[in-house]
Amino acid sequence: MEEKKTVEQPTSTEEKIKEAARRVFTRKGYAATRTRDIAEESGHNLALLNYYFRSKEKLFDIIMIENMELFIKDVLGIINDATTTLEQKIDLLIAHYIDMLLQNPNLPIFILNAVNTNPNELINKVAKTAQLEQTHLAKQWQEIAASRALQINPLHIFLNALSMTVFPFVASPILKLRVGVTDDAFTELMQERKKLIPAWIKSMLQQAG
Amino acid sequence: MEEKKTVEQPTSTEEKIKEAARRVFTRKGYAATRTRDIAEESGHNLALLNYYFRSKEKLFDIIMIENMELFIKDVLGIINDATTTLEQKIDLLIAHYIDMLLQNPNLPIFILNAVNTNPNELINKVAKTAQLEQTHLAKQWQEIAASRALQINPLHIFLNALSMTVFPFVASPILKLRVGVTDDAFTELMQERKKLIPAWIKSMLQQAG
DNA sequence: ATTTGTTTTAATCAATTGATTAATTCAAAT
DNA sequence: ATTTGAATTAATCAATTGATTAAAACAAAT
């Protein structure tokens, strides 16, 4: 009904609830999260959640959109930089994502989960997430696809980069509990992959040409 | 209290409920699934779910374990075959998983989700899932790791194979809704990957040697 | 036909959960 | 000091949800 014209202090109650919601939602997903979990995690009364965000769903939407934005933040700068080569962009993108995901390790499972259960409605909400088609990276990509008459669908290479970078984070509980990889070993592994994945990807581009 | 000694017809009510549960649980996960959803999907009364399976959680455990077994079924035969080379095993494993996942496309998100939210309890339940350490594949793997003094942790290669095979299935909603890949195109893409992924993996083994 | 044990149903329960309400505290403006 | 509006709390609501119960339908054996 009425709009809140709250002045946003950096650590306002509203902000604290939102951050609590981000932690709980990102860890447990929408359905498994109780509004009371969020209230408790935030250290505030349950009613404040509805006071500031109207409903669980509206709060979730905010978190989801912000999480999505986390995924493309800083990336547009890299892929639209006209001064870097395609190979440099690959290096930068992989390194950026590994660093970002090491700090937000359950972001991937959150997003994949949301995308797999909400499909349509969700994608519409985040439709604004920039057109990747006309970026500098896309142009360079098409150039290389044209110059070396690629034997394979370039989507394969893109998929491989995404897979090798992101999948380890969603599979990490398996690595940690079944394969005996410690937290530190996992971080070390991912640091190594910052150099390895670009090398593998470039090698695939060679082979495919 | 008392044990049910039901004679299992192939399409018994119990079986129908279990299959309905498998569909709903695998599609929506544990928390988002209502027992009434399962009852409705199965075409039976809600009370029958508790009659046959005692509780939602027990039913879920059954589905989860069976889904886990789907993941290693047929695979033990491949990795313990003393007559095939390591490279042949790679070919067979990738092809098998792609075929299996094409028929159970939301198995990966189900398992990853379960593993990411239940971590400990779950792994214990499925602890019996065979020791991968002393298989024929593992021996061949160690041999190659020893012969070519590998520059990198062999876990990287394993992770890459898993990533490139499984990740596309959890990312498929993104491919379909954002990248414009149709269902048929996705299947075609995965069919191509049956040949491509083994080639990439072998190339990585070369480079690393 | 009757009995016996299993399967199925309709109705209901108790607990949980998202949300609201009414009252209270607090802070700033007057 | 009083007023005003925002922030916060405790209590409560209504709907949902997992589970149970008691009765009914069914099938097989006697």
Q: Which nucleotide is nearest to A7 (CA to C1')?
A: D6
d(CA B150, CA B75) in angstroms, rounded, equals 26
B61 within 8 A of B125, measured Cβ to Cβ: yes
Q: Is the CB of B18 under 7 A from strand C?
A: no
- pLDDT reading at A1 higher than 50: no
Query: Are A109 and B106 a contacting pair at CB < 8 A?
Result: no
pLDDT score, position A33: 97
Q: Which of B109, B162, B189 shows the shortest C-beta gap to A112?
A: B109
d(CA B204, CA B74) in angstroms, rounded, equals 26
Q: Is the CB of A34 under 7 A from strand C?
A: yes
Q: Is the CB of A150 under 7 A from strand C?
A: no
Tokens of B209: 């040697």
A60 within 8 A of A52, measured Cβ to Cβ: no
pLDDT score, position B134: 83
d(CA B117, CA A170) in angstroms, rounded, equals 11
Query: Are B159 and A164 a contacting pair at CB < 8 A?
Result: yes
B73-CA/D15-C1' distance, Å: 43
B102 lies within 8 A of chain A by CB: no
Task: Tell me the pLDDT band of A144, cut-offs 50, 70 and 90.
Answer: confident
Q: Which positions of strand D lie within 7 Å of protein CB atoms?
A: 6-11, 16-22
Q: Which of B112, B117, B159 shows the shortest C-beta gap to A28?
A: B117
Q: Is the CB of B89 under 7 A from strand C?
A: no
pLDDT score, position A136: 94
pLDDT score, position A205: 92
pLDDT tens-digit map of A72-121: 889 999 999 999 999 999 999 999 999 999 999 999 999 999 888 876 66
* Per-residue DSSP letter, B32: T
Q: Strand, helix or coil at A130?
A: coil
CB atoms within 10 A of CB B131: 8
pLDDT score, position B140: 92
A178 within 8 A of A113, measured Cβ to Cβ: no
pLDDT score, position B118: 74
pLDDT score, position B79: 94
Spell out which residues of chain B touch residue A178, defining contact as CB-CB under 8 Å.
123
CB atoms within 10 A of CB B130: 13
A200 lies within 8 A of chain B by CB: yes
Closest C-alpha to A20, from A59, A47, A51, A50: A59
- Cα of B27 to nearest chain A Cα, Å: 8
Q: Is the CB of B159 under 7 A from strand C?
A: no
Helix axis angle, A107-117 to A56-72, nearest 10°: 120
B184 within 8 A of A188, measured Cβ to Cβ: no
Q: Which of B156, B175, B200 shows the shortest C-beta gap to A204?
A: B200
Distances from the Cα of B14 to the Cαs of B38, B45, B59, B153, in angstroms?
12, 11, 11, 47
CA A126 to chain centre: 13
Mean pLDDT by 10 residues, chain B (209 residues): 42 92 96 97 96 97 92 91 96 98 96 83 62 85 85 94 98 91 98 98 88
- Compute φ and ψ for A141, nearest 5 degrees: -60, -45
pLDDT score, position B115: 87
Instruction: State the DSSP string of B106-156.
Output: THHHHHHHHHHHSHHHHHHHTTTS--STTSHHHHHHHHHHHHTT-SS-HHH
Type of residue found at A157: I
Spell out which residues of chain B touch residue A162, defining contact as CB-CB under 8 Å.
167, 171
- pLDDT reading at A54 higher than 90: yes
Query: Are A167 and B159 a contacting pair at CB < 8 A?
Result: yes
Task: Tell me the pLDDT band of A7, cut-offs 50, 70 and 90.
Answer: very low
Query: Are B171 and A163 a contacting pair at CB < 8 A?
Result: yes
pLDDT score, position A9: 45
d(CA B142, CA B43) in angstroms, rounded, equals 52
